[in-house]
Structure 1
């Protein structure tokens, strides 16, 4: 700390030696700085306050029905982006600031100056904005602020309408695109169903249920074919290799057993076979066995009635001609009917077998067909869901536009309109004048310091010893007489007087500026 104080003392002694150089520099810089401050052009600031009311009674009522953007955020962004080059150029044209502009360079300078002079300040969170502009002409400053207020209001409404139109146009394009996609998907689905109608079906029945039905129908057809073949074979045995028997007047049961009625004999034979199967599993008292015996007895009684009816139809003469025997004729007719029934059932069995084979062959491709059908349905469902959402959002956007046209996006209220300022807002000469005086004094101190460094002197033996590195044996002191002391005193008084005059000059000019502002 002692070394620092000693070095500071050496510097101040050196500056004191060249104090007149510094004072001269201060007197040169001071008046120039004072004249510059005084001659600075006055700049007038015109401002306007705008309140943006973003609240609307329709907002809570239309919640969930119409799109409601964050208006507060939009207005905040608008206030930050309003001062852009396109807007500044538009503002220059609106305020007629480019009437004296001749060249492109001058226009660029004008744009840069206007951009720098414009200012938008936000007053807290109440959506209160202050629009200000500073210019050397008070009337021009008011005109610029007035134009800026108009741009602020129009930009808010215009941008919102532009955003709404852009959004609706985009949604309309997307809806048209999805309509085309839906049509293509529907056509693909229709072609797929037509191509795989036998597999998928038009009623949506399960494929495996169709296979089960076809197999059951085939089994029933085969069973009916076997019954018809048995009945036909019985008729053939009676007609081929066997003499037809004429019915007596009172036929016994033995005689009845030799007479065939194809329709009933086949059924009786089938029931007897079924009875044999039941007796192998159950006793005589089992309900199924009892029911089967009753059915056989009923069929045999029906057969007797049929034979009696055929007997009544026979000729009363009882002739022995075979061709005139009604029973023989009836047997031939029954055989023809049985042959036709067998042929019909064979055709049915063949058809059912073809169906089953076709279904079995198609069952190998069933997983692929189902996967393709599921993919088509999934694509269609996705497109349909997106299409419905877009239509809903289009209606919501349209409702939002109508709501904005009815209630307005925001209510711009001009709280303080722009006025012509009566007093300049800048420069603040009351602060600049003392600052100029302080700058002149600092300049003088800097000149004294630099001169002392350029032309250094040794103020004591310690400095000489440190600089030279040699031992100092002694020093010779100067004894001042009365004349020299008076000369030094007069020099100090003159220096302080000149310094005080400089300070007083700046002080007087500051007081004069204060009085001029108060007047």
Structure 2
């Protein structure tokens, strides 16, 4: 039974509208008193919520969590190997990037679906086994998708910065299923990551190599057709030979021109000398030696006379006079006379004539040689000009052949390297080590206690809120102290109000 202030309300009279316009003022002690008035309402709300929480907590089952861990190191599959060229070859990520990549692979939906298909949907989710068995193919795909999401909710993947360990845990009401799911996940992860990181890139490399080989065969055919169509065996050798031949022909041509000029100058000089030389000349002639002989005879006679006569004898003087007279005639040349002589062809003219003939023949030969060299130089120049016209096409074909040959060689080496890498990687993942395999947990965890505690707290909070709402919605001033604070008047007495 409630009490009201005598100053604020007339007994048995309903409150007027003006009473609602006054805002009540409460003290902390008023809340205790007023809430105690609403204890039955608060108790009812508290009991209902607690009963609902207890009912919900009893439905919760224990979950068993299987744990495992992986040790991850940098592997060959993370080393960057370009398909073509050497740009950024050998680049590697840091440890954190590798850990994050491996974590993403562990948490991928494809890996979870592989686990479900390997173990069987009904074994992982026994409650839905019958539904899965009777479902259509489309329904089975939908159930597998839902199961994949359910596995993701129960799977936890934990990593730490600068740490190469990845921790995994999987929760399930059945500890055996938790163990099998987590171990199967690890096994499928080792297989799936190899197919994902290494893949089947060899087929791409092989196809690219075959494409380059086909282009190379086409280019070789065009190259051979170009050479045979232009009567070229070896373009570079032929061009080099023609260049050397041109240099030799030019050198011989200039040497022949110099020789021709020399021979023509000598021929002109010989012809001029030949014109001045007589055709015939005196071959030889005899001199008259009778005066000398007679002088010698007189000297002999004088020596004979001296044997018989004295030097001043008349016969000796006569001989001396003859000798003196004859010597005077010989010395003056009066006693000289022409003897026998012979004329014939002039040998100098004949020599000049022979030299002229030789020079004329040499000039004619040199002129023929010069004409031949000129023709040879012209022919070589024409062939060089023709090769110069063909050189761009030849260079293009040669570059194509060289580039394609290099590409075929590089892709062949790349294909063999990739094949060897795939074979080595297929044998195992040396950079991924399972530190701890999952084992069936012996103890489970349940949320019954946390749910009960939360239900009690929520029930208490809700009951308090309901009491406050009910208290504040009551009309009038509920306590004398509140009336005094609100109206600013003292309350002298209170009386009980009977309904």
TM-score category by the smaller chain? 0.5 to 0.7
- CA separation of 1:369/1:440 partners in 2, compared to 1, >3 Å: closer, same or farther? same
CA distance in 1, matches of 2:421, 2:343: 102
More helix by share: 1
CA distance in 2, matches of 1:170, 1:356: 51
Q: Choose the corresponding residue for 2:45, options 6, 20, 25.
A: 25
Q: Do the aligned residues in 2 keep the contact of 1:44 with 1:425 (CA within 8 Å)?
A: yes
User: What is aligned with 1:393?
Assistant: 414
- CA separation of 1:225/1:345 partners in 2, compared to 1, >3 Å: closer, same or farther? farther
Offset, 1:123: 7.1
User: What is aligned with 2:182?
Assistant: 145
What's the TM-score, normalizing by structure 1? 0.56
- Correspondences of 1:251-270 after superposition (within 5 Å): 255-259=346-350, 264-265=355-356
Q: Choose the corresponding residue for 1:434, options 437, 453, 466.
A: 453
- Correspondences of 1:62-73 after superposition (within 5 Å): none
CA distance in 2, matches of 1:108, 1:255: 131
For the pair 1:341 / 2:358, whether they are aligned, the reply is: no
User: What is aligned with 2:60?
Assistant: 40
CA distance in 2, matches of 1:215, 1:462: 135
For the pair 1:415 / 2:463, whether they are aligned, the reply is: no
Offset, 1:243: 13
Offset, 1:154: 2.8
Please give the per-residue CA displacement for 1:14-69, whole angstroms capped at 9, x wherever unaligned.
Answer: 6565443233211111121122113322222233445567789xx9xxxxxx9898
CA distance in 2, matches of 1:352, 1:11: 132
Please give the per-residue CA displacement for 1:284-312, whole angstroms capped at 9, x wherever unaligned.
Answer: xxxxxxxxxxxxxxxxxxxxxxxxxxxxx
For the pair 1:91 / 2:115, whether they are aligned, the reply is: yes
Offset, 1:464: 8.5
Q: Choose the corresponding residue for 2:494, options 479, 499, 503.
A: 479
- CA separation of 1:151/1:347 partners in 2, compared to 1, >3 Å: closer, same or farther? same
CA distance in 2, matches of 1:440, 1:207: 109
The gaps in structure 1 that reach 5 residues or longer are 1-5, 60-65, 270-334, 485-519
More strand by share: 2
Please give the per-residue CA displacement for 1:373-405, whole angstroms capped at 9, x wherever unaligned.
Answer: 666665555545544443443443344345446
Offset, 1:445: 1.8
Offset, 1:372: 6.2
User: What is aligned with 1:354?
Assistant: 378
Q: Secondary structure of the residue that 1:119 maps to in structure 2? A: strand
CA distance in 1, matches of 2:282, 2:158: 132
Please give the per-residue CA displacement for 1:336-374, whole angstroms capped at 9, x wherever unaligned.
Answer: x669736733641551463476379x39x95x8776666
CA distance in 2, matches of 1:39, 1:174: 62
Q: Secondary structure of the residue that 2:443 maps to in structure 1? A: coil
Q: Do the aligned residues in 2 keep the contact of 1:186 with 1:380 (CA within 8 Å)?
A: yes
Look at both structures and tell me which one has the larger radius of gyration over its CA atoms: 2
CA distance in 1, matches of 2:231, 2:473: 107
Give the CA RMSD over aligned residues. 5.5
Please give the per-residue CA displacement for 1:443-475, whole angstroms capped at 9, x wherever unaligned.
Answer: 1122223334544544589999999xxxx5846
Q: Secondary structure of the residue that 2:439 maps to in structure 1? A: coil
Q: Do the aligned residues in 1 keep the contact of 2:280 with 2:344 (CA within 8 Å)?
A: no
